Structure 1
Amino acid sequence: MKNEKNIKVSNGYMMLFLLLAVIIIMFAGIILFRTPLFLVLVIAVLFIVKGFFIVNPNNSKVLVLFGAYKGTVRENGFFWANPFYSKQRISLRARNFDSERVKVNDKIGNPILINVILVWKVEDTYKAAFDVDQYEEFVRIQTDAAVRKLAGSYSYDNFDDAQEEITLRSGMDEVNEALENEITERLAIAGIKVMEARIGYLAYAPEIANSMLKRQQAVAIVAARKKIVEGAVGMVEDALLKLSQDNIIDFDDDKKASMVSNLMVVLCGDKEATPVINTGTLHS
C-alpha cells in the first residue's frame, strides 16, 4: 500500500511569461514573414495552457500520469505541471458531519434513536483518492456502522443505582472516547483523520419512550421515598432518645409503637398532618 508523497512542480508565473513569449513570436512571425508555418506554435500554446493550475489554501492536487500516481501538491499558489497529468482536487479542510438519526437496539435490546457529530479531515491524499471509492461517502457509511456497533455495546441507561456500569446516557466521556477510537480505526484506510467524534442526539424510540419515562419516574419516586423513610427513621430515633435522656416521659412498648407510627405517618405523608386534640387519656 502506497502513501502520499509530495511533488515539486514549476512556478506558474514563469510559464505564463513563456506562454506570452510564444504567442508574441507566433503573431510576429505570421505578420512579418506572412507564412502559416508559425501556426504550428498554436499547438505549443495549447500544450502550455493545459498545464496551469491553482492550489488554494487548505487544498491539494493529486497528480496522475497515465494511471501512475506521481505525487500531491499541497503548497498554495499558481503552478504549471506536465499537461498530461490528470489533476484531482482534494480538500484538506476540517469538515463537520452530522449523521442522520438512526434507530438501533442498545445492549439489552431497547430501541433507541442516536446520531453522531464528527469532525474530520483528509490526512493522506493518496489513500483518500485511490484506496477507497468516494471517500466522503465512505466516511458517512463507516460512521453509521460505528454508531450502530457502539449502541449495541452499551445500555441506554442504568436503573440500578448500586451498579456502576457505563451507559450511553451516564458515561458520555467514556462512550465518546470509544466512539472516536472506533471511527478512527475504520477511516484509517481512507487516510482520514478524526479530530472529534461525539454523540449529538440520544433518546428512546417513540414506541417505548412513554413507557420508559414512566419507569424513570417510578425509579425516581422510589428513590425519593427511600430517602424520606431513612430520614424519618433517624428523626424518630433522635426524638425517642431525646425524650428518654431528658426524662420528659417514660414510654412502654405500646406507647413507643404508637408514637413511632404517628411520627412516621406525619414525616412520610404526602400532605401536611391535621392536628387532633385528644381530651382524654393517651389510651382513650
Structure 2
Amino acid sequence: MSTTTSHPPEPEGPPEGSFRPIRLIHNESTTEIPVHLLFRDDPDPAPVTLRPAVVSRRQGTGEQPRLRRPAPARARPVPEADPGLVERPGRALPGLAGVLAGVSGVAGCAAASWWAGVLPAAAVEALGLPSAAAGAGLGPAQWAAYAGAGAFGLFGFGGLARGSTGRAWVLGLFGRYRGTVRRTGLLWVNPLLRRRRVDVRLRHWRSEPMPAADAGGVALRVVVLVVWRVRDTARAALGVEDHETYLRECVEAALARVPVEPPGGPRGGLEAAGDALTRMVGEDAAPVGLEVFSVQPVRVEYAPEVAAAIHRRRIAVLDAQQRASMLTSVVDSVEDTVTRLTMRGLVELDDYERKVLVRDLTVAFCSGRGEPAS
C-alpha cells in the first residue's frame, strides 16, 4: 500500500537571478543593504555610511512635505552714482595772475586807442606818450588790437574767484567734471569752466516732525537732529540732483524701518534707535559723498490721530492706580482701628456688630479721602 503525499503548489515567483523582496508598502522608496556588512568577523569594522531607507515622499503615504521658510529679503545697497566720479584737485592759479592779465588787457585797449588817435590829448600828455601816431584812425588793425586786448582783459578779470574757508568750487566743462578747488583767498580759475559752490563745513539739520512708529506699531511724530558734512564734493554735486533733499529722504526712510521708543519710554531705547538711525542713514548717504556723524531723536510725541486715545488710557491707568492705593490705605486704617478697639477691650463686638463697624468706618474713611484739601 503506497501513501502519496500531496504538496501545495509553490507560488510562481520571478525567474532566478531577478529575485526582489516583496514590499509591504508599495509606494515607498527603499535602499538595499548588503547582507555581508551585517555579519562581519572584524572586531573593529570601519564605519559604513548608509543612506536612510525612505529617501523621498510618495503620494498616498500621508507624509507631509517640509515647508522651508523663505529667506528674509535684504535691502539692496545703494549703488554708487558713478564709480569713476571721485573728487580730485582742480587747477587754479593765484589771483595775482588774473589781475595782471586784466591790467594787461586794459593797457592793450589804451594802446590801441592811442594808436587810432582816439585817446584824448589830456590823457596822452598825462601818460607822456608821443603823438606821432595820433590820427591814424580806426582801421582793421586797430579793431583787431581792441578785440585781442579786450578778450585778454576779460579773460583775466573774469577768472577771478574768492575761495572761502569751508567752501569749495566744483569745476565742470561742457558737462565733464574737471576737479574741485578747496583753496582759500583770491584765485584765478579758467572762466570757461562752470563753477558750482559747495558747502563742506560740518553742518547740522533739525528736521520737522516726521512720521515714525514704536515697536507696537503706534504712530509717532519724531524730530531728529542730523550732523553731517560733504566728504566728496564731486559725488555730492554731480552724483545726485540735490544732496540735501536726498539726505532728508534717507532720514525719512530710516525712520520707517527703525522703531522708536514712545514718550516716557526708557532713555536707552532712544539711544539705541539713534545708533540704528545713524548707521542706516550713513550707509545710504555714503555713495553720494555725504558723511553722517549722528542722527538722534530730540523730540518724540504721539501722532494726532492716536494722541487723544493714549491720553485717555494714561488717565485711566493713573486713576486705577490711585484708587487701588486709596483702597489699600482705607482697608489698613479700618483694620488697625478695629484691632485696637478690640485688643484694648474698649468694645465687645459680635460678628454682626463687627461688620457694621467695618462698613461705617470704610464709608467714613473713603469720604474723608475723597474730599479736596483746602
Assess same fold via TM > 0.5: yes
Aligned to 2:107: 24
Q: 1:209 aligns with which of 302, 307, 316?
A: 307
What displacement does 1:128 show? 0.9
Q: Distance in 2 between the 1:237 and 1:107 partners?
A: 45
- Alignment match, 2:97: 14
Contact 1:4 1:126 in 2 (8 A): yes
State the identity %.
23
User: Match for 2:198 among 64, 69, 90?
Assistant: 90
Which residue type is aligned with residue 186 of structure 1? D
Give the C-alpha shift of residue 211 in structure 1.
2.6
Match of 1:122 among 227, 230, 240: 230
For structure 2, the 5+ residue unaligned runs are 1-82, 116-132
Deviation at 1:38, TM superposition (A): 1.9
Q: Is the 8 A contact 2:95 2:188 kept in 1?
A: yes
8 Å CA contact 1:157–1:170 kept in 2: the answer is no
Tell me the distance in 1 between the aligned counterparts of 2:336 and 2:360.
Answer: 15
Question: What are the residue-to-residue correspondences of 1:125-136 with 2, within 5 Å?
Answer: 125-136=233-244
* Contact 2:213 2:260 (8 Å CA) reproduced: no
Q: Name the counterpart of 1:38.
A: 145
| Secondary structure in structure 1 of the residue aligned to 2:156 | helix
In the alignment, the residues of structure 1 paired with residue 319 and residue 204 of structure 2 have an alpha-carbon distance, to the nearest angstrom, of: 45
Asked if residue 179 in structure 1 is aligned to residue 179 in structure 2, the reply is no
Aligned to 2:42: none
Report matched runs for 1:1-284 at 5 Å: 1=83, 2-7=85-90, 9-32=92-115, 35-36=141-142, 37-39=144-146, 40-93=148-201, 94-99=203-208, 101-103=209-211, 106-150=214-258, 153-154=259-260, 156=262, 171-192=269-290, 193-200=292-299, 202-206=301-305, 208-232=306-330, 235=333, 264-268=362-366, 270-272=369-371
- Cα deviation, 1:180-233, whole Å, max 9, x if unaligned, reads 443333322333334553244522323x43332211110111122233344445
| SS state at 1:108 partner | coil
Distance 1:188 1:234, change over 3 A: farther
Give the distance between the partners of 1:261 and 1:6, measured in 2 at CA: 90
Partner residue of 2:14? none
Letter in 2 for 1:148: A
Q: What runs of 5+ residues in structure 1 fail to find an aligned partner? A: 159-165, 273-284
**Whole-angstrom distance in 2 between the partners of 1:3 and 1:235:** 79
Per-residue deviation, 1:265: 4.5
Structure 2 counterpart of 1:227, which letter? S
Any idea what SS the aligned residue of 1:132 has? coil
Alignment partner of 2:238: what SS? Answer: helix
Distance 1:216 1:52, change over 3 A: same
TM superposition shift of 1:238: 5.8
CA distance in 1, matches of 2:340, 2:228: 67
RMSD (Å), alpha carbons? 3.7
Q: Name the CA shift for 1:266/1:14 in 2 (closer, same or farther; >3 Å).
A: farther
Normalized per residue, the structure richer in helix is 1
Alpha carbons of structure 1 residues 197 and 268: separation in structure 2 relative to 1, 3 Å: same
Deviation at 1:253, TM superposition (A): 7.0
Moved more, 33-42 or 235-244: 235-244
Contact 2:88 2:180 in 1 (8 A): yes
Amino acid of the structure 1 residue aligned with 2:184: N
> Relative to structure 1, is the Cα distance of residues 260 and 128 closer, same or farther in structure 2, using a 3 angstrom cutoff?
farther
In the alignment, the residues of structure 2 paired with residue 156 and residue 201 of structure 1 have an alpha-carbon distance, to the nearest angstrom, of 7
Query: Is this contact kept in 2: 1:121–1:195, CA < 8 A?
Result: no
- 2 CA distance for matches of 1:209 and 1:57? 47
TM norm structure 2: 0.56
Classify 1:118/1:261 alpha carbon distance in 2 versus 1 (closer, same or farther; 3 Å). farther
What's the secondary structure of 1:4's corresponding residue?
coil
Question: How far apart in 1 are the matches of 2:288 and 2:222?
Answer: 25
Q: 1:174 to 1:223 in 2, by over 3 A?
A: farther
Moved more, 65-74 or 240-249: 240-249
Q: Residues 224 and 299 of structure 2 are in contact (CA less than 8 Å); yes or no, is this contact kept in structure 1?
A: yes
Partners in 1 of 2:184 and 2:285 — Cα distance?
26
Q: Which has the higher strand share?
A: 1
2:56 is matched with none
